[in-house]
Amino acid sequence: MRRISILPFFVAVVTLCSTPALAAGVSDLIKKPETWFNGPDAVRITANILSHQSDAGGWPKNTDTVSILYAGDRSRIKPTFDNKATTDELRFLALRVHAARDKDCEKAFMKGLDYILKAQYPTGGWPQFYPPDRDYHRYITFNDNAMIRLMVFLRQVATMERYSFVDANRRKAAQEAFDHGIECILKCQIKVGGKLTAWCAQHDELDYSPRPGRPYELASISGCESLGIVALLMSLDKPSPETIQAIEGAVAWFESAKLSGTRLEKKEDNSVPGGKDIVVVNDTDSPPLWVSFYEIGSNKPIFSDRDGAAKGTLADIGHERRNGYSWLGYWPQKLLEKDYPAWKAGQAAKKIRIVLVGDSTVTDESGWGGGFKKLLANNAECINAARSGSSSRSYNAMGLWKKALDHKPDYILIQFGHNDQPGKGADRETDPNSTYFEQMGRYITEARAAGIKPVLVTPMTRRMFHGDKLQDNKLEPYAEAVRKLAAKEGVPLVDLNTRSTEIVQKLGPKDSEELGPVVNGKHDSTHLSSKGSDVMAMLVIGELIKAVPCLAPYFNSGFHSQK
């Protein structure tokens, strides 16, 4: 389970980028002390809140669910996740259950939680409301931090003691929904010229592409909603390399998108409705501004009237939209000046963990594991759990796989094949197209279930020659099974079999002898010497970074200079 702490920064972001809550609403009440939820005011307000719950399980927006008892047709209530609706009502109910063991509240809470879980798309995002319509509300909605608020709530359900009344299956589902939401966020991040930037306020629910909202909310990179996403990613206790890369990319984009030397000013103008107008004026002493919408590709600010035509400046649009929408703000300033540097400093003390699993050709003593460890940077650590003589079958049977998972790595590299071949005994042998394929598939499934990212490695070639040519590659059926499995399961692949075959063939029979040790006066053509470990580790790391580019910063200059 991913343990997370909510940053105060996130609260500030929601306040800045979302619609203000109703006065003295449920958002204020959930800040009350626990004893209040067992008192007479809480009983009365609880009845009101319950009356506003829709048949689907959620609550409406921009509605006073606290002061007024709803007596209408509940089937006509339109639940939503917009403008803080639903999540704060559920938090109130949870506090009431925790304080007073209120069964009606507990039942209503479960209904609301199920509503949120049901609303999540297979791609990991949430629409603005559920069931969605065919308009822009159906898109994955970061606008007004709708999806981010849902994810923070689900994380609380999964991890906080306050929600201990929720059954284990639902808490597990909440954690899984949160994790799937993180995956969705990473897939939605907009890339321009090969560089990660930030996010649109809405993204397609099928292919993650940027989508427009209302006519004046064009598909673009958001200078405001992206902030809430970054805050959530920064609050992860143990962010993955992909997540760190996403944060770094977004922060770099915020830096590139700031507008310096200007400020907003509200001036008196009797010629316009209301007698006031918002204008942008030059001011070299003002802190930088950001706009709500940036053109994808050029990074130019976008402003628009209700006709949807993109304009380059705030002055280019009409008075009504110019004054009726938050086009510019100082939103990322605190992120860049305080929160990101503090997060970065905290990350410097953390290390990514990689576990190696396999046979003797992976161990530190006679495989490429020792060379692999030499090339790790200071922000990474490696635990080599490989065992000499093991096969994909026997490694699991000996309980070694469970021990490997117990190390709780971020990534686990898995290579078997040498001892899976015929002649190794019934307790080790596997068939590449059936039992080997199935066992390697189980490793993938179980690693993922433990929150670990598996990487498959094809078995390293043996260095046995007929003249100047390598002998027939008897490990190829196992290597091909791994390639097929990686493609089927969407797992990163290190094709060490192909790469090691290429380099050994290039070296030839004489020079390739240096890659292995000398045992009893004979050159070992399977295992590796110190030099061989270094050479094969270079191949492994090179392929690993191709498959998982975000791992590049975790290997030192020794690797990058030798490539």
Give the pLDDT confidence of 225-280 residue by residue, as tens digits. 999 999 999 999 889 999 999 999 999 999 999 999 999 999 998 888 889 999 99
- As a whole number of angstroms, the distance between CA 278 and CA 263 comes to 10
56: Cβ–Cβ under 8 A, 6 or more apart, which residues? 79, 115, 130, 131
- As a whole number of angstroms, the distance between CA 444 and CA 428 comes to 19
Mean pLDDT to the nearest integer, 469-490? 93
DSSP H or E stretch at residue 277 = strand 276-282
Phi and psi (nearest 5°) for 468?
A: -95, 5
Please give the pLDDT value at position 23: 43
pLDDT tens by residue, 362-384: 999 999 999 999 999 999 999 99
> Domain spans of the chain?
8-258, 351-562
Please give the pLDDT value at position 21: 42
- As a whole number of angstroms, the distance between CA 437 and CA 372 comes to 26
Of all residues in the chain, what percent carry a pLDDT higher than 70? 94
Question: Which band of pLDDT confidence, cut at 50, 70 and 90, is reported for residue 561?
Answer: very low
- As a whole number of angstroms, the distance between CA 151 and CA 146 comes to 9
Angle at 473 between CA 470 and CA 478, to 5 degrees: 155
- As a whole number of angstroms, the distance between CA 130 and CA 116 comes to 8
Task: From residue 86, give the alpha-carbon distance in Å to each of 56, 79, 89, 267, 299.
Answer: 11, 7, 5, 38, 35
Mean pLDDT to the nearest integer, 437-460? 96
What would the CATH number be for the domain defined by 351-562? Answer: 3.40.50.1110
Q: Are strands 276-282 and 262-268 parallel, antiparallel or unpaired?
A: antiparallel
pTM higher than the cut 0.85:
no
Instruction: Give yes or no for residue 2 having a pLDDT over 70.
Output: no
118-136 as b/e, with b when 16 or more CB fall inside 10 Å? ebbbebbbbbbbbebeeeb
* Domain 8-258 matches domain 351-562 at the CATH topology level: no
What would the CATH number be for the domain defined by 8-258? Answer: 1.50.10.20
In terms of Cα–Cα distance, which of 296, 126, 302, 343 is closest to 199? 296
pLDDT tens by residue, 343-356: 999 988 888 999 99
